[in-house]
Amino acid sequence: MSRHNKRRSKLRKRTTVFGGGAVAVAAVVATVNVASAGQVSPTPRAESKADHAVFVQGNELAGNTIHVFRRDDDGKLTAAGKYATGGKGGDQVDAPTDSLASQGSLVYDDRSGRLLAVNAGSGTLTSFAVHGTKLTDRQVVSGGDFPAAIAVSGDLAYVMNAGGAGSVQGFRISSKGLQPLNGSYRTLGLKNEKVPLFSSSPGQVAFTPDGRNLIVTTKSSNTIEVFPVGRDGRPALKPVVNKSAGMVPFAVAFDKSGRMLVAEAAKSTVSTYKVRHDGTLRVLQKPLANGQDTLCWLERAGDFFYGGNTGNSTVSGYRQDPHGRLALTNEAGIAAAPSGKSQGVIDIAVAADKFVYVQNATSGTVDGFRVGRTGALTKVTTVTGLPAFAKSGMEGIVAV
């Protein structure tokens, strides 16, 4: 066994996140248009635009693909095709289960009807036009060093590059795809190789609901960095650096009133903030622990939030009172218990606030759940045969 594989095997057993630093890099952005939609296997039937779908990013190292599933009214999934992105998947150094170590690597933009994906291994982004369960009009653009997540607000899309110093870079979204936004590149001042160490890469990039601020979580620095965004769509030259209330901030979600919830991996906690217009944060609720292991992902489903605990393969449920106070949906902190086909819980997607879809990296499956009145999750579907984590694995899921 090579030294790298020994280190990976050891770190799979227990993940500790620490470290940090600062260095600056520059990025060059170029656009490459690809005429083909890149379909790998045919869609079995002709779908209408009304068809609902779940998209899963395979993140394969030899050639990234999007796996498409038709979503029925009862939440069940049926395979409906697979499409090549025209780029390569990636695997961060020593990643224990999640190759991209991020939330938001696959995003659907309802405004333009386009699906946006990262190709971390080739430093590119791909956009597709979405027609039900069919993907067409593939476009590939340069992203940066190890693009790992995307955020969308209006006609703006920002990619978070995890390699090197880390950076954010802006694009305009149109019906034809992504166009680079000149003068929008900003460094995060991290210290990584071109392929980053998973514990010191940034976790997510996200816009506040009003689009006025761009948020980036930095795991090893334990900071939440906020770039105020100007009317021209470009961020401030430097971020407002806020210390995280909990250790190892990873995923970001917002409630109906615009409060920001941040999942923290070190102690599986969630903190609640108010994001001020100047980029500073005010803690509204200190870290709330769920009693689980390594909470990294967090998504809102109507009045509830669901978090993925990759360390013990569970999903935690949260609810808020009328004042925004967060609590667990049950004392155990488990909305969905693990099963043999649900190992290595990572990314989460929500459909119409009624269904929650969970990626299981180790078992190569996706579970679908119906959201109950109290926030309890009832499993309605499981699909198998997706790229399971080994040298790399799937990451990124979207429900439309």
Greater confidence, 144 or 23? 144
Per-residue pLDDT at 303 exceeds 90: yes
| Residue 39 token pair | 């379909």
Per-residue pLDDT at 176 exceeds 90: no
Task: Find, among 197, 289, 300, 296, the residue nearest to 249 by Cα.
Answer: 296
At 337, the pLDDT band (50, 70, 90 cuts) reads confident
Same domain? 203 vs 300? no
pTM of the complete model: 0.88
Span of 123-137, 170-184, 326-340 with lowest mean pLDDT? 326-340
Q: Answer whether residue 341 is part of any domain.
A: yes
Q: Answer whether residue 380 is part of any domain.
A: yes
Domain boundaries, position 324 = 290-386+394-400
Same domain? 42 vs 166? yes
Q: Answer whether residue 350 is part of any domain.
A: yes
Per-residue pLDDT at 260 exceeds 80: yes
pLDDT at res. 336? 86
Task: Find, among 38, 30, 234, the residue nearest to 127 by Cα.
Answer: 38
In order of 57, 125, 229, 236, 303, the CA distances from 105 in angstroms are 8, 10, 21, 23, 24
At 24, the pLDDT band (50, 70, 90 cuts) reads very low
Per-residue pLDDT at 16 exceeds 90: no
Tell me how many degrees the CA angle 88-345-318 measures, rounded to the nearest 5: 125
Q: Which amino acid is at 384?
A: T
pLDDT at res. 117? 98
pLDDT at res. 25? 30
Q: Answer whether residue 229 is part of any domain.
A: no
Per-residue pLDDT at 166 exceeds 60: yes
In order of 29, 94, 275, the CA distances from 195 in angstroms are 18, 11, 31
Same domain? 195 vs 330? no
Same domain? 73 vs 177? yes
User: Of 207, 236, 257, which closes a domain?
Assistant: 207
pLDDT over 90 percentage in the chain: 84
pLDDT at res. 42? 38
At 50, the pLDDT band (50, 70, 90 cuts) reads low
- Average pLDDT of the residues of the chain: 89
Q: In degrees rounded to 5, what are phi and psi of residue 8? A: -60, -45
Asked if 140 and 126 count as a contact pair (C-beta separation under 8 A), the reply is yes
At 338, the pLDDT band (50, 70, 90 cuts) reads confident
At 381, the pLDDT band (50, 70, 90 cuts) reads very high
Domain harbouring 69, CATH code:
2.130.10.10
Span of 22-26, 127-131, 170-174, 206-210 with lowest mean pLDDT? 22-26
Beta bridge partners of 77: 71
Per-residue pLDDT at 118 exceeds 50: yes
User: Of 207, 240, 271, which closes a domain?
Assistant: 207
Classify 324 as helix, strand or coil: coil
Per-residue pLDDT at 85 exceeds 80: yes
Using the CB atoms, write b or e for 365-376: b if 16+ within 10 Å: bbbbbebeeebe
Q: Answer whether residue 112 is part of any domain.
A: yes
Task: Find, among 269, 267, 184, 300, the residue nearest to 232 by Cα.
Answer: 184
In the chain, the number of structural domains is 2
Same domain? 199 vs 105? yes
At 383, the pLDDT band (50, 70, 90 cuts) reads very high
Per-residue pLDDT at 15 exceeds 50: no
Structural element, H or E, at residue 10: helix 3-13
Q: Answer whether residue 367 is part of any domain.
A: yes
Domain harbouring 371, CATH code:
2.120.10.30
Overall average pLDDT of the 170-179 stretch: 94
pLDDT at res. 41? 41
